[in-house]
Structure 1
């Protein structure tokens, strides 16, 4: 994701701090784009660690929600997970290639044509075995990782302090405008001194903030030469590609072959081995309602792998409804929590809160789901007796579905938050939620059926609660 900033912000920054673009003296304003790419590379490094790869295979891809709504085909799910990693890597590689075009010196042929180098490496024609000697993908990976972590942390701090400086300068301009329009002050009046006190304090804060920003510029990517930052990113891009190949090539067609076992070395803290062909699931481990909604192509290139994360129109993500459905599910969870047994003194207050939550949830529902819930609810409540056993059964039914549907909704919101443009997320270096464990690839028909089931049973719980709160004389 390319870092985008308002033109007015950039113009003010250039006039105050100098430096309009990257040069051999430093990256300048492009430091933020480079830091975002480096944070993505660090995140990818960590996502390919032994622990994360084991979690992907053991927990994420075998989760009940994924099996019910997406697929139980493990090679297919691995292909989707690998495709997302490659798509993220492609974005970092594109940043390295753009910056590489600005480079001069002995590394210019490698960095200036990095887009071709990367394309060759993805096809396998560049030879990842050559990468082992030329780039030292394992030998220097740990050192490069730590260096990028330091660069990202320092540049993120610079970004925050520049934001603070912009706010202070805006306050200074407002103060000057106020003083210009407040009229003349009598020479003998003591109010002039009082009026100048806030202005003097603001000027001191501005001076200190500018000094802080100046120091952070020197300690961050802002002052790092273009060729050094680009070389660091380019080598890391190829190192991550080699690690993806090492981890997934055994089960995902289209990846370049991993390094020969005899040449393979391991970087400290990042020693994930290849993923072996998954064993066949036991009959009782397969979930009856799994949804094999994709067809796995035969031999595919890494380009098609990167594009494989575009979901079909029959999926929740393909219809653009994943955020809306996730919010509906989370609202259902909150309403369920509010409906749990309460003390008699809390009944009235809880009842008012439940009514508000029900109203909000109802407004969130798409027309198709709203109609399905109404139709199913009429049938469900026909002749239904109001007793504790029926209420408990409805509550259990809701909890049973939300036990596997709820985590997918939470992961969907987290996935979108992690890819937001806020500074905290833009420079985050933690492993990200895999798209495959969200509602993105979920079969829309099956997802809607699960949501309708939750809402129907939840409506029954609400109805039982309402009947329980009714005064006895209402029935006379």
Structure 2
């Protein structure tokens, strides 16, 4: 593999993290989050099946991304069976029959994941030691050029030799000395195993690719017999073979609460069609999800002390708002200003606005924070190796309805405006020595409770 071991390490890390994400514990956590997330239900969908479909589609997209990397490596293999892997995962979970039996069994897959993690860790260490070796060798050249004292030169040469031995040992333990065929076979079989795992945790029939509800984990072949894989794979042949299947898996909590057949599409491709037909009204399609996440988090910070918002902060918030939100906000503020000023800004109404703002932030802010986290994980991925995120887009603002989200943000800004305006009036009255009515006291008590 040589220098390509760096790319291999990234792919292996992604595979290992995918396998971890599809564990019973993680999938149960995902479904609990989707079920209990008020923000997801308000802005995305109240249909559990649809939410799980969105999660499934993103997971399969990650698998396809890894498969593209494996396909590029496959073209450099000796065995011709690996030369044409470009379209193996094009249809999601619907894999060609000729690849049946390539999956690892559960225990063996766990061992392979541990091995890939070791490969990735050793490769990371190897990169660091290679940098050290490069610096030492450059230093040695400078010493030789400057006719440095022979004793010091000899000691430095020993240090360089020791570092070369260290690098050599790490190369032997990493993917650096492994063949393309070995690496591609390991990654490809792992991907097939992960696809089978996806079928189980999402309750997908391996025959027709449809979602089904079943309380028996043995309804599906999770990890076909290891003996089905022959030592030589170059003679797969043109005629697809049918293999017997074994059942070996573990209890999967998501499966037992799986997707009902009468409420889901007939195939994975139908799943994606439904997604593309419904995403036109989402923040992700409008490329506003990250921007609105920043707006919501900024409002959340201002809401901590709404009566101490500086003019600069108000201006910054206003500049962050989109044109549609500004128009909506102006219309509502216009209606508010038509009322008598003496009746508009009072403590009782301010307390109600404060309560409304806190209730909205309770369900909206988590989606915004998840959106930031999702982007951070993907950006951090460029600096490190592999996909390590536990947040899916379905947990963020990406699939949120644009109109509903903008209405919620408008209400937040309006609440913030009212509370801030009333707070300034209270402070002005206190400064001038004016008395504050009982509604002011109610507001101040409520605001203090909300900030706890």
- Same fold, TM-score > 0.5, yes or no: yes
Q: Does 1:326 align with 2:300?
A: no
Deviations 1:262-284 (A, max 9, x none): 822137xx96673544579xxxx
Q: 2:314 aligns with which of 331, 343, 358?
A: 358
Kept in 2: contact 1:137–1:238 (CA 8 A): no
Summarize deviations over 1:364-388 as a string: whole Å, max 9, x none: 1112212322321232354344444
- Provide the secondary structure at the position in 1 that maps to 2:200: helix
Q: Structure 1 residues 309 and 37 mapped into 2: Cα distance closer, same or farther (>3 Å)?
A: farther
2:439 corresponds in structure 1 to none
Render the CA deviation track for 1:429-459: whole Å, top value 9, x for unaligned: 4x52111111111110111011111111011
SS at match of 1:274: helix
Residue 246 of structure 2 corresponds to residue 263 of structure 1 = yes
Per-residue CA distance 1:203-261 (angstroms, 9 max, x = gap): 99999987766654444333332222211111110000000111224499735997348
For residue 112 of structure 1, the aligned residue among 79, 83, 88 is: 83
What is residue 317 of structure 1 aligned with on the other side?
A: 284
Q: Answer yes or no: is the 8 Å Cα contact 2:57–2:272 preserved in 1.
A: yes
**Shift of residue 411, structure 1, vs aligned partner:** 0.7
Across the aligned residues of Structure 1 and Structure 2, the Cα RMSD in angstroms comes to 4.3
**Offset from partner CA, 1:268-307 (integer Å, 9 cap, x none):** xx96673544579xxxxxxxxxxxxxxx984334596499
Distance 1:225 1:52 in 2: 34
Give the CA deviation at 1:322: 0.6
Shift of 1:127: 6.8
Task: Give the whole-Å Cα distance in 1 for the aligned partners of 2:116 and 2:274.
Answer: 28
Residue 416 in 1 paired to residue 375 in 2? yes
1:398 lines up with 2:357 in the alignment: yes
Please name the residue that 2:113 is paired with.
Answer: 145
Is 1:367 paired with 2:326? no
**How far apart, in 2, do the equivalents of 1:111 and 1:456 lie?**
60
1:161-200, aligned counterparts within 5 Å? Answer: none
Alignment match, 1:287:
none
Return the alpha-carbon distance in structure 2 between the equivalents of residues 29 and 458 of structure 1.
55
1:111, 1:234 within 8 Å by CA — same for their partners in 2?
A: no
After TM superposition, give the deviation of residue 88 of structure 1 in Å: 0.4
Q: 1:459 aligns with which of 408, 417, 421?
A: 417
**Stretches of structure 1 lacking an aligned partner (at least 5 in a row):** 1-26, 177-201, 281-295, 341-350
Residues 118/139 of structure 1: CA separation in 2 closer, same or farther (3 Å cut): farther
Q: Does 1:239 align with 2:193?
A: yes
User: What are the superposed Cα offsets for residues 335-356 of structure 1, whole Å, 9 maximum, x if unpaired?
Assistant: 112338xxxxxxxxxx4x6444
**Which of these residues, 56, 72, 75, is aligned with residue 30 of structure 2?**
56
- Where in structure 2 are the equivalents of 1:24-103 lying within 5 Å? 27-103=1-77
Report how many residues are paired: 395
Shift in Å at residue 321 of structure 1? 0.6
Q: Is the 8 A contact 1:84 1:306 kept in 2?
A: no
Between the aligned partners of 1:121 and 1:473, the Cα distance in structure 2 is: 70
In structure 2, distance between residues paired with 1:136 and 1:399: 50
When normalised by structure 2's length, the TM-score is 0.73
Q: Deviations over 1:396-431 (max 9, x none)?
A: 1111001010000011111112222545554354x5
Instruction: Measure the CA separation in 2 of the matches of 1:207 and 1:373.
Output: 70
Do the aligned partners of residues 311 and 120 (structure 1) sit closer, same or farther apart at CA in structure 2, a change above 3 Å counting?
closer
Q: State the secondary structure of the residue aligned to 2:379.
A: coil
- 8 A contact 1:114–1:234 mirrored in 2: no
Change in Cα spacing, 1:336 to 1:117, as seen in structure 2 (3 Å) is closer
Q: Distance in 2 between matches of 1:325 and 1:331?
A: 10
8 Å CA contact 2:126–2:171 kept in 1: the answer is: yes
- CA distance in 2 between counterparts of 1:374 and 1:116 reads 52
Structure 1 length as normaliser, TM-score? 0.70
Instruction: Provide the rounded CA distance (Å) in 1 between the counterparts of 2:159 and 2:369.
Output: 42
Residues 53 and 271, structure 2, Cα contact 8 Å, conserved in 1: no
For residues 3-42 of structure 1, what are the structure 2 equivalents within 5 Å? 27-42=1-16
CA shift, 1:113, in A, is 3.8
**How far apart in 1 are the matches of 2:210 and 2:17?**
20
- Find the aligned partners of 1:62 and 1:85 in 2 and give their Cα distance: 21
Is there any run of 5+ residues in structure 2 with no aligned partner, and where?
Answer: 143-155, 213-218, 223-244, 435-452
**Residue 306 of structure 2: which of 339, 342, 356 is its match?**
339
Native 8 Å contact 1:418 1:425 kept in 2: no
C-alpha contact (below 8 Å) 2:205/2:211 kept by paired residues: no
* SS at 2:248 equivalent: coil
